[in-house]
Structure 1
Amino acid sequence: MADQPKIHPTADLELPPTVPLVPPGAPASDKATSPLRHQGPPVIIPSRPPRTRSCCCRCLCWTICLLVVLLFVVGAAAAILYAVFQPKLPEYSVQKLRITDLRLNIDLTLYAKFEVQITANNPNKRIGIYYEKGGWLAVWYENDKLCQGSLPIFYQGHKNVTELNVRLSGQTRSGRTLMNALQEQQQTGQIPLTLNVNAPVAVKVGRLKLRKVRILGKCLLVVNSLSTSNPVSIRASDCSYRLKL
């Protein structure tokens, strides 16, 4: 009998490839290597901005808005008050100047004693002025203060003109040099003096008394003499004033 050829089984190409099964108790690493498991892209969750930052921005915006409104209200109120009351600075003028004493002491200091008559004019129709304690008036020659005196305490009403008599006295070092300079100026008949005013005042608007401010005045005078025996004539006077809060 002839030998029959052996038949070997061939794989069926139409069947799908066999997939090895993963037993239920296999570890997770074995499951991850399975070709049937599909891993998608990672999901990114957007992070929210911190809420505290937005709260700070809102608070800052509200604060700025309130400040703007407050400045507007204050400015409007000030404009209304200015239009109603029309405030003006008081005016001062030097009427008389008298030299009661001017001598050189033994210690070579110059002693001076003046009497000054000033006219204070309040031009306001609805504003009164309280002249408080601490006001003073001083007379200077160039950079040397000759004498100083205190201003009186009083109340000046609306559209009022008041005459003030102020006594001044003082001593100055380097009296010999200063006396020689004054005598040389007296020969020319043109002696320049500076009169400074520092007046703390409180303004009264209606029945309301406002905070204290200061009125600073400066008068440039030219007199003919500083003699105690002859009358002093004021040949020129130029005064300016400003308000210091």
Structure 2
Amino acid sequence: MTDKNLIHPQARSTTNGGAAAAKPSFPATKAQLYGATRPTYRPQTYHRPRSNRNWCCTICCWLILILIFILILLGAAGTVVYLLYHPQRPSFSVSSLKLTSSEFDLTLSTTNPNDKITFSYQPISVSLLAGELDVGDGVIPSFEHATKNTTMLKALVERRSVKKKSLELKMKMETKVEAKMWVFKTPRVGISVLCDGIDVAGEKAATADEKCAVDVRFKGWK
């Protein structure tokens, strides 16, 4: 048999319907190697630090609430005291006022109308005025005023140079008073007393029992 009669198998032609040829493998790039070993990124949760301003606001709110609570307690205590004791302001009147060559001889009466409250007076400053002119100044010593009691007060007021023998005077007194109720004491409260329309002529005494207006800087007293 000659070579011509030998049948050589033909190589199969690669067509679209046949098996695809194996893709050539290339070495991995640096980017692919880095991506394979790089951990997955997970965003971190951001916690905003608490501001000092929030603490200040909280403290201020608590202080305001505590202050309001204290004021409510004080108001309730004042109401209870008023209902139990019915505080009334003291009264003053001029019993006599005599004019001498060098001084005014003053006698006052003061009444404490309360049956459960005593008063403790600081020294009382006395000023005698003729119009707007200060014609005399003096001091009444401090004293304790018992309940349901009328006390007579005397003072010698130094006279200033006045040419008139007959004067129409008004008297101003300033002091501080402390009220005592059982074992409780109030803070010292300012008190002003004004006695107007006092006529003085020589040795003649002023009109007896000239009433005085009392201004107490504590509105709970009637």
TM-score tier, shorter chain, comes to 0.7 to 0.9
Equivalent position amino acid for 2:105 in 1: E
Work out the CA distance in 2 between the residues paired with 1:43 and 1:15: 44
Work out the CA distance in 2 between the residues paired with 1:235 and 1:202: 28
CA displacement 1:44-66 (0-9 Å, x = unmatched): 63433417555444433333322
Gaps of 5+ in 2: 1-13
CA displacement 1:62-107 (0-9 Å, x = unmatched): 3332222221111111111111111111110112111111xxxxxx
8 Å Cα contact 2:95/2:210 also seen in 1: no
8 Å Cα contact 2:96/2:208 also seen in 1: no
What TM-score, normalized by structure 1, do the two folds share?
A: 0.66
Work out the CA distance in 2 between the residues paired with 1:51 and 1:214: 47
Work out the CA distance in 1 between the residues paired with 2:43 and 2:25: 30
CA displacement 1:22-43 (0-9 Å, x = unmatched): 26xx4xx6756x8x99999973
Match of 2:178?
Answer: 202
8 Å Cα contact 2:94/2:209 also seen in 1: no
In structure 2, relative to structure 1, the CA distance for the partners of 1:46 and 1:149 (3 Å cut) is same
Q: Give aligned-pair identity as a percent.
A: 21
1:21 aligns with 2:27: yes
Work out the CA distance in 1 between the residues paired with 2:201 and 2:175: 26
**Alignment of structure 1 residues 13-92 onto 2, 5 Å:** 20-22=26-28, 26=30, 31=33, 43=43, 45-50=45-50, 54-92=54-92
8 Å Cα contact 2:120/2:179 also seen in 1: yes
8 Å Cα contact 1:138/1:145 also seen in 2: yes
RMSD: 3.9
Match of 1:166?
Answer: 155
Match of 1:156?
Answer: 145
8 Å Cα contact 1:117/1:166 also seen in 2: yes
Work out the CA distance in 1 between the residues paired with 2:23 and 2:214: 110
Match of 1:243?
Answer: 216
Could you tell me how far 1:139 is from its partner in structure 2?
0.8
8 Å Cα contact 1:115/1:168 also seen in 2: yes
Work out the CA distance in 2 between the residues paired with 1:232 and 1:53: 72
Work out the CA distance in 2 between the residues paired with 1:19 and 1:234: 133
What TM-score, normalized by structure 2, do the two folds share?
A: 0.72
8 Å Cα contact 1:221/1:236 also seen in 2: no
Match of 2:120?
Answer: 130
Structure with higher RCO (Cα < 8 A, 6+ apart): 2
8 Å Cα contact 1:122/1:160 also seen in 2: yes
Match of 1:120?
Answer: 110
Size of the alignment, in residue pairs?
A: 206
Work out the CA distance in 2 between the residues paired with 1:18 and 1:71: 92
Query: Which piece of structure 1 moves more, 191-200 or 232-241?
Result: 232-241
8 Å Cα contact 1:222/1:235 also seen in 2: no
Work out the CA distance in 1 between the residues paired with 2:81 and 2:60: 32
In structure 2, relative to structure 1, the CA distance for the partners of 1:15 and 1:73 (3 Å cut) is farther
Could you tell me how far 1:199 is from its partner in structure 2?
2.8
Match of 1:227?
Answer: 202
- Secondary structure of 2:45 counterpart: coil
